[in-house]
Amino acid sequence: MTETIVELRNITKRFPGIVANDDVTLDIRKGEIFALLGENGAGKSTLMSILFGMYEPDEGQIFVRGEEVRLTSSKDAAALNIGMVHQHFKLVSNYTITENIVLGDEPLKRLGPLSWVDLKGASKKIRALSLEYGLEVNPDDKIEDLQVSTQQRVEILKMLYRDAEILIFDEPTSVLTPQEIEYLLEIMEELRRGGKTIILITHKLEEIKRVADRCAILLHGKLVGVYDVATTTTQRMANLMVGKELDTTLDKTEHDFGEVVLDVSDLTVYNEQKVKVVDNVSLRVRQGEILAIAGVSGNGQVDIADAIAGLQHISAGSISLKGEEISRLSIKDRIARGISYIPEDRQKDGLVMDLTLRDNLAIKTFDREPFSKKGVLQPEAFEQQATDLIKRYDIRSGQGSQTTTRSMSGGNQQKAIIAREVELDSDLLIFVQPTRGLDVGAIANIHQQILEQRDKGKAILLVSLELDEVLALADTICVAFRGQILKTDSAKNLSKEEVGQYMMGVTQ
């Protein structure tokens, strides 16, 4: 049981302006679930990418099964039976599951000089594997028809098919619903029972508590320590992870709400596939009020937000902002009227990843003074704003205002978006999944900022899949189910269980 399978010794990896891993030494035992915990940008993914051969460490040694190895590509890692499920899946969407799994390592059948890929045999083997570990899939389905959780299972099967013994999961639960998370954790336990070693990169403490044996905590690239999960409390892990005593309780003061800022009535939206995604929704948000839309993913919440911001056409209903009908206005005009929007997908919608942080911070205001005068950009104004926001919002990046946002960590990208949107000083702020994929420290920071805006008298529309987040922040809760609002009530009058029931479509 205590046989060491992987040993990392004094690993150091530098990127321009940042030390991603600083002298990290770890040993991982055969047959355990080893968690790697840390804030966004703490160096977890980098460390595992090194073990998977995607980066070479600047310093340090790697031992696998007691022998020193040098990994220059993922092929080397595969040869040592190391597999990895990446945060973003690497699958060919119009191939079947079987084709994806055998890709790059096709089993060949030969007849004299002829050879062809033995898909039938592979399919059989995959079916057997999927039964053995409880990973239900139909090997002949195409990837594009599958749900995210099933795609993830395909990634796991891909590793198992290649006889991986050491399985690295990079934040596997960030894309899953609560039920799917539960199912995945069971699969991990099943894999451990089958003798596999699992390395789980995550920043969700409950998951670690639930399945992991030991847990290494990284902070700013340095190893804080390795802890026995059974004897360490979640609170202690959280504190170690952020490096300071963490106050997770929010202090939310009671106050009266002001005038109605956003008034949506009878809103109906059809998506591009002509499916009705928002069905006759009405809601009002007042000054100083946080109205949260709770709901399971895909029940029309994001479409409501998109419709208000002007990203989606509405087919019926009205949207008024401070008494003015805005549903016919362009996106630009709505921004000018006072809507800030923190979108769900920060990399696709929120940022131009290949532009600098400086440009991204000004992407909504570049054509106003002082950022441009008569159509000519004023770089000094861009720089001044960037320096100011970087400082005030604690946005960390390798090369300051000139950093390409792509190279920043997710948490800092989100900080940049929030800084930009809050600085617009809009009367209405829409937050969609503002803390998705972020660590405890960043979440607390963002929650604090949302409350600050509320206390300043802004109207806030929050869309979140995290029930705890909704309950912690909301003054008023709307529960969305199949495009409708099933229930609207003051947060004080709703318990977690009640909201959960409405989310499942149960109405008393």
Partner 1 sequence: MNKFSSRVRSALSGLLVPSISIALTLIVASVIVLLLGKNPIEVFLGFLRGSGLVFKPRYAGGQGILTDFFSYLSILTPMIFASLGVMMGMRAGLFNIGVAGQMLLPGFLASVLIGYSDLPSYLAWPIIIIIGLVAGGAMGALIGFLKHRFNIHEVVTSIMLNYIISYVTAFFINTYYADPVTRNSRPVSEASRLLIPGQAGGARFDLPVGLVVALLVIFVMRFLLDRTTVGFRINAVGLNKDCARYAGINVGNNVVLAMAMSGMLAGLAGVTYYLGFANNMVPKELVSLGYDSIAVAVLGNVAPVGCLFASILVTIFQKGSVYMSSNVGVPKDIASVIIGILLMFSASGLYIEETLQRLRRRSRSKQDAKTDPDKAEEERA
CB of 221 to partner 1, least distance (A): 18
In the stretch 106-145, what mask flags binding to partner 1 with x, by CB under 8 A?
Answer: ----------------------------------------
CB of 56 to partner 1, least distance (A): 8
Q: Residue 66, interface with partner 1 (CB under 8 A)?
A: no
CB of 353 to partner 1, least distance (A): 7
Dihedral, CA of residue 464, residue 412, residue 368 and residue 309, to nearest 10: -10
CB of 441 to partner 1, least distance (A): 26
In the stretch 200-239, what mask flags binding to partner 1 with x, by CB under 8 A?
Answer: ----------------------------------------
Q: Which of 57, 73, 27, 393 is nearest to 214 (CA)?
A: 27
Pairing of strands 33-38, 197-202: parallel
Cβ distance to partner 1 smaller for residue 288 or 343: 343
Q: Residue 332, interface with partner 1 (CB under 8 A)?
A: yes
Per DSSP, helices labelled H in 219-290 are 234-242
Structure tokens at 368: 């106003």
Choose the stretch contacting partner 1; rule: CB under 8 A; options: 90-98, 101-109, 288-296, 349-357.
349-357
Burial bucket for residue 46 (CB in 10 Å: 0-12, 13-18, 19+): buried
Q: Which of 285, 227, 231 is nearest to 37 (CA)?
A: 227
3-class SS shares of the chain: helix, strand, coil, % to 5: 35, 30, 35
* Range 272-311, binding partner 1 (CB under 8 A): 309, 311
Q: Residue 348, interface with partner 1 (CB under 8 A)?
A: yes
Q: Residue 28, interface with partner 1 (CB under 8 A)?
A: no
CA pair distance 140, 386, nearest whole angstrom: 51
CB 64 within 8 A of CB 71: no
CB of 60 to partner 1, least distance (A): 11
CB of 349 to partner 1, least distance (A): 5
CB of 333 to partner 1, least distance (A): 8
DSSP per-residue string spanning 282-343: EEEEETT-EEEEE-STTSSHHHHHHHHHTSS--SEEEEEETTEE-TTS-HHHHHHHHEEEE-
Structure tokens at 468: 């705890």
Cβ distance to partner 1 smaller for residue 232 or 384: 384
Q: Residue 359, interface with partner 1 (CB under 8 A)?
A: yes
CB of 163 to partner 1, least distance (A): 31
CB of 326 to partner 1, least distance (A): 13
Sheet containing 222-228: order of strands = 82-85, 166-170, 197-202, 33-38, 214-219, 222-228
Cβ distance to partner 1 smaller for residue 167 or 321: 321
Cβ distance to partner 1 smaller for residue 113 or 375: 375
For Cα atoms 266, 450, 390, give the angle at the middle one, nearest 5 degrees. 125
Q: Which of 104, 102, 133, 100 is nearest to 118 (CA)?
A: 102
Q: Residue 350, interface with partner 1 (CB under 8 A)?
A: yes
Tell me how far the alpha carbon of residue 343 is from its chain's centroid: 13
Choose the stretch contacting partner 1; rule: CB under 8 A; options: 230-238, 343-351, 435-443, 457-465.
343-351
Cβ distance to partner 1 smaller for residue 126 or 309: 309
Choose the stretch contacting partner 1; rule: CB under 8 A; options: 28-36, 239-247, 325-333, 488-496.
325-333
CB 276 within 8 A of CB 268: yes
CB of 207 to partner 1, least distance (A): 31
Q: Residue 355, interface with partner 1 (CB under 8 A)?
A: yes
CA pair distance 321, 334, nearest whole angstrom: 9
Which residue has tokens 């995607």? 54
Cβ distance to partner 1 smaller for residue 276 or 337: 337
* Range 364-393, binding partner 1 (CB under 8 A): 364, 366-367, 372, 375-377, 379
Q: Which of 472, 490, 489, 483 is nearest to 505 (CA)?
A: 483
Q: Residue 422, interface with partner 1 (CB under 8 A)?
A: no
CA pair distance 265, 268, nearest whole angstrom: 9
* Range 36-65, binding partner 1 (CB under 8 A): 58-59
Cβ distance to partner 1 smaller for residue 279 or 359: 359
Choosing from 106, 189, 190, 349, the residue that interacts with partner 1 (CB under 8 A) is 349
Choosing from 133, 257, 341, 502, the residue that interacts with partner 1 (CB under 8 A) is 341
Q: Residue 15, interface with partner 1 (CB under 8 A)?
A: no
Q: Residue 352, interface with partner 1 (CB under 8 A)?
A: yes
Cβ distance to partner 1 smaller for residue 250 or 331: 331
CA pair distance 82, 165, nearest whole angstrom: 6
Per DSSP, helices labelled H in 201-312 are 205-211, 234-242, 301-309
Q: Provide the binding-site residues for partner 1, judged by CB under 8 A.
A: 58-59, 309, 311, 330-335, 341, 343, 348-355, 359, 363-364, 366-367, 372, 375-377, 379
